[in-house]
Amino acid sequence: SAVTSYAAVDLGASSGRVMVGRVGRGTLELTEAHRFRNRPVHLPEGLRWDILSLYTGVLDGLRAAGPVRSVGIDSWAVDYGLLDADGALLGNPVHYRDTRTEGIAEKVWATVPAQELYAATGVQYAPFNTLYQLTAARSTTEFARAGRLLLIPDLLGYWLTGEQGTELTNASTTQLLDPRTGDWSYGLARRLGIDLSLFAPLRRPGDPAGLLRPGVLARTGLTGPVPVTAVASHDTASAVAAVPAVGERFAYICTGTWSLAGLELLAPVLTEASRAANFTNELGLDGTIRYLRNIMGLWLLQECLREWDDPDLPALLAAAADAPALRSVVDAGDTAFLAPGRMPARIAEACRTSGQPVPDSPAEITRCILDSLALAHRRAVADAQRLADHPVDVVHIVGGGTRNALLCQLTADACGLPVLAGPAEAAALGNVLVQARADGLLGDRADMRRLLTRTQPPTRYEPRGDPASWRAAESRLATP
Q: Which residues bind ligand LFR (CB under 6 A)?
A: 12, 76-78, 96, 234-236, 257-258, 260, 294
Q: How far is the CB of 334 from ligand LFR (least distance, A)?
A: 15
Contact 455, 449 (CB under 8 A): no
Q: Other CB atoms closer than 10 Å to residue 468's CB: what's the count?
A: 8
State which residue, 124 or 328, has the beta carbon closest to ligand LFR. 124
Coarse DSSP helix, strand, coil percentages of the chain, rounded to the nearest 5 percent:
40, 20, 35
Residue partners of 220: CB distance under 8 A and separation at least 6? 59, 62, 63, 212
φ/ψ (deg, to 5) at 94: -80, 135
Element (H, E) at 289: strand 289-295
State which residue, 13 or 62, has the beta carbon closest to ligand LFR. 13
Q: Tell me whether residue 413 is one of the annotated catalytic residues.
A: no
Contact 426, 231 (CB under 8 A): no
Q: How far is the CB of 235 from ligand LFR (least distance, A)?
A: 5
State which amino acid sits at residue 228. Answer: V
Q: How far is the CB of 402 from ligand LFR (least distance, A)?
A: 15
Cα separation of 398 and 185, whole Å? Answer: 31
Cis? peptide before 225, omega within 30° of 0: yes
Q: How far is the CB of 171 from ligand LFR (least distance, A)?
A: 13
State which residue, 222 or 292, has the beta carbon closest to ligand LFR. 292
State which residue, 136 or 365, has the beta carbon closest to ligand LFR. 136
DSSP 297: T
Q: Other CB atoms closer than 10 Å to residue 181's CB: what's the count?
A: 9
Residue partners of 319: CB distance under 8 A and separation at least 6? 361, 362, 363, 366
Q: Other CB atoms closer than 10 Å to residue 346's CB: what's the count?
A: 17
Catalytic entry in 10, 74, 235, 371: 235
DSSP 104: H
CA 151 to chain centre: 14
State which residue, 260 or 417, has the beta carbon closest to ligand LFR. 260
State which residue, 77 or 188, has the beta carbon closest to ligand LFR. 77
Q: How far is the CB of 322 from ligand LFR (least distance, A)?
A: 31
Q: Other CB atoms closer than 10 Å to residue 216's CB: what's the count?
A: 21
Q: How far is the CB of 44 from ligand LFR (least distance, A)?
A: 24
Q: How far is the CB of 345 from ligand LFR (least distance, A)?
A: 24
State which residue, 421 or 426, has the beta carbon closest to ligand LFR. 426
3-state secondary structure labels for all residues of 23-72: EECCEEEEEEEEEEECCCEEECCEEECCHHHHHHHHHHHHHHHCCCCEEE
3-class SS of residue 175:
coil
Active-site residue list: 235
